[in-house]
Amino acid sequence: VLNEPKPINLKSELAAVGELWEPRVVGQVNDYDVCIAKVDGEFVWHTHENTDEFVLVLDGELRLTLRDGNGERELILSKGSGFVVPRGVEHRPAATGASILVFEPTGTPTTG
Amino acid sequence: VLNEPKPINLKSELAAVGELWEPRVVGQVNDYDVCIAKVDGEFVWHTHENTDEFVLVLDGELRLTLRDGNGERELILSKGSGFVVPRGVEHRPAATGASILVFEPTGTPTTG
């Protein structure tokens, strides 16, 4: 570990991202992943039944719509803002060109 | 949850931080905390025996020195760079005025 400690440069990692909405794992903390993703347009509605999910906006603006039986609520998250999507809450991320960091258990399916 | 979804604004959260090196929990992901801290000067050498720890530099520059029986290795982490300190690795953070984000299990002692 001490021979090759590997700093994580988010800018370089983002430059290596190809697909939109495809999380790239940049670090592992026990059984959790630190991921980054480039996002654009509207993603699908989904729910993570068994885990919370932390999202931090690195660049641009993320629109995160939450919904339950009573209706929808849209959150606008700008650069430097984050949100913990609680387990079981249906949500749909959307953006006009943004990059995000996500912290979630390893193996969490992107679409819930 | 949908009535009062609470975005986390890192800038506002940092403005509310008083003590240096004192993590402020800004979000919880299952049994992990998302924390921020203002750091300045040299912290103590310490080791987290049972957990990895992710650090991301939000502002300024963090100098993270790692050591084992063979010597020391200093990492310079600038804004937008991060590092996962593996469990069991002795480390000492230092800075000349920086702010950081940390992901770690809830209850992880600051000094290992």
- The pLDDT tens digits of the residues spanning B16-60 come to 999 999 999 999 999 999 999 999 999 999 999 999 999 999 999
Closest in A2, A8, A70 to B83, CB measured: A8
pTM (2 d.p.): 0.95
Q: Dihedral of CA A102/A106/A109/B3: which sign?
A: negative
pLDDT at B11 over 70: yes
Contact B96, B60 (CB under 8 A): yes
CB of B70 less than 8 A from some CB of A: yes
HEC string of chain A? CCCCCCCEEHHHHHHCCCCCCCCEEEEEECCEEEEEEEEEEECCCECCCCCCEEEEEEECEEEEEEEECCEEEEEEEECCEEEEECCCCEEEEEEEEEEEEEEEECCCCCCC
* A-chain residue closest to B69, CA distance: A2
* ipTM exceeds 0.90, yes or no: yes
For chain A, give the number of residues. 112
pLDDT at B3 over 80: no
Set of chain B residues whose Cβ sits within 8 Å of the Cβ of A82:
7-8, 10, 26-27, 34
The list of chain A residues with pLDDT below 50 reads none
Backbone angles phi, psi at A8, to 5 degrees: -105, 115
Contact B108, B54 (CB under 8 A): no
